[in-house]
Amino acid sequence: MRAARMLLPLLVLLTACSDPGAGSSAQTPPLPQPTRRAPSDAASIKLSFGPIVKRTAPAVVNISSKRVVRTRVDPFWEMFGGGMPRERVEGSLGSGVIVRSDGVIVTNNHVVEGGQEITVSLADRREFPARLLLADPRTDLAVLKIEATGLPVLAIDTGEDLQVGDLVLAIGDPFGVGQTVTNGIISALNRTEVGQEASSYIQTDAAINPGNSGGALVDMDGDLIGVNSFILSRSGSSSGVGFAVPGAVVRQVVESAFGGAKTVVRPWLGVRGQAVTAEIARSMGQELPQGVLVAAVYPGSSAARAGLTEGDVILAVDGQAVNDEAGLNYRISTHRPGDSVRLRVRRGQGETTPSVRLEAPPSQPARDERVIAGPNPLSGATVVNLSPATAADLGVDAFARGVLITAVDGRGLAARAGLRPGDLVRQVNGRTVADVRSLQGALAPGGREWEVVIERAGQRIAAKFRL
């Protein structure tokens, strides 16, 4: 009996090791071979990024920018006509990527912003003066041109097949020490809660330090998948949390510069939305907190013509999921005005897939930018009429209406009154301000007492002034 008990495990083992087809006609399908593989042995670990670097590094350049800054001296001496403002030269260093062999280069806008003298140094140590073709502060990108031909280039990859975990290289000139290459992986895609409003960033742990700005983030095919832009760090040096403007945005800005445009015209859907939180999802009967809840639709916009209404939930744009307003705006902004996109929208308990023809945001009323002068509390303030197009340029709410203060002269009455850029002027002495013309009309009568109502950060503030 004991021997029989000992034979039982042996029989089970032999059965498990026998031909699986003997007991069943079902065949297990072979597992698909992964296209991306981590190093699996010593030989794989010794593999080098050298061939990729050799092919891509010559297209990454160093950029230096200089500008003259006037600095004020002690205001006390200025009151007596003394102490002339002094001039000093400020410089910045960064990197750039050659995207056309005839000398077209893309970099970060903050590298060259305000620069009066821009110099590009190639990998072969040649130097060229550069001129600015296009600056796009919304994405922090700029396109430069140098007079050279036959230059090495990097192809722009829009990154539709990128995955978290893919290997990447960051190439640039950190701290001005010379061209440097670091490697890492894609840590995250579609980061919308950081940086500029008009982009959805690639996050990487490849070391990015001061001077890397404007440099290349390349994949293992040697293509440009992003332009390194900024880092999150307590020390100012790389802590493994870097962000790059994705290739789709880079291509859009570069193509705009090729066409001779001075600004990038992006389409606008015409909705104000908010992320669907877990609480909102429960109230709407959704199992998961997904999509962007439409809170408002701009009259006459692309969204309005497509039939979108308040309460709709936009789940995807052309099959790409969106989960916050920034992500939705990014998916729309990578298209051109006139393009059609397919939305996936949840309405009530059902879904619909409307096709939306995109258009540029309307520019009415006209901008009508003016500097207010005269004896009034707004003297020295630069004001503009708000339209969706102007709001998009200035990075403010596209649904806002009225007159926006865009700049305040530090020596004017507006600065003394505490007015700031970003304030919306609502009323002056009880008169509603609808546009710049009506504002100037309200200021025209003059007087010594003024009551001004402004809107700041969503709150209305009323103040009285006596001149």
H-state helical runs in 237-313: 247-258, 278-283, 302-305
Please check whether residue 404 is in contact with residue 424, taking contact to mean a CB–CB distance below 8 angstroms.
yes
Q: What is the CA radius of gyration of the chain?
A: 29
Torsion sign, CA atoms 309, 139, 205, 156: positive
Q: Please name the residues in contact with 256: beta carbons below 8 A apart, sequence gap of 6 or more.
A: 134, 136, 263, 264, 265
Q: Cite the active site residues.
A: 110, 140, 213
Rounded to an integer, what distance in angstroms lies between the CA atom of residue 387 and that of residue 301? 13
Give the burial class of 218: count Cβ atoms within 10 A of its Cβ; 0-12 exposed, 13-18 middle, 19 or more buried. buried
Residue 58, preceding bond cis, omega within 30 degrees?
Answer: no
- The single-letter DSSP state of residue 268 is B
Torsion sign, CA atoms 210, 213, 216, 217: positive
Element (H, E) at 170: strand 167-172
Rounded to an integer, what distance in angstroms lies between the CA atom of residue 309 and that of residue 290? 18
Token pair belonging to 115 = 């620069």
* Cα torsion through 357, 361, 363, 369, rounded to 10: -170
> Max CA-CA distance within the chain?
117
Question: Among residues 109, 416, 62, which one has the least CA distance to residue 245?
Answer: 109
Question: Among residues 87, 238, 250, which one has the least CA distance to residue 175?
Answer: 238
Give the burial class of 464: count Cβ atoms within 10 A of its Cβ; 0-12 exposed, 13-18 middle, 19 or more buried. exposed
Torsion sign, CA atoms 397, 260, 98, 224: positive
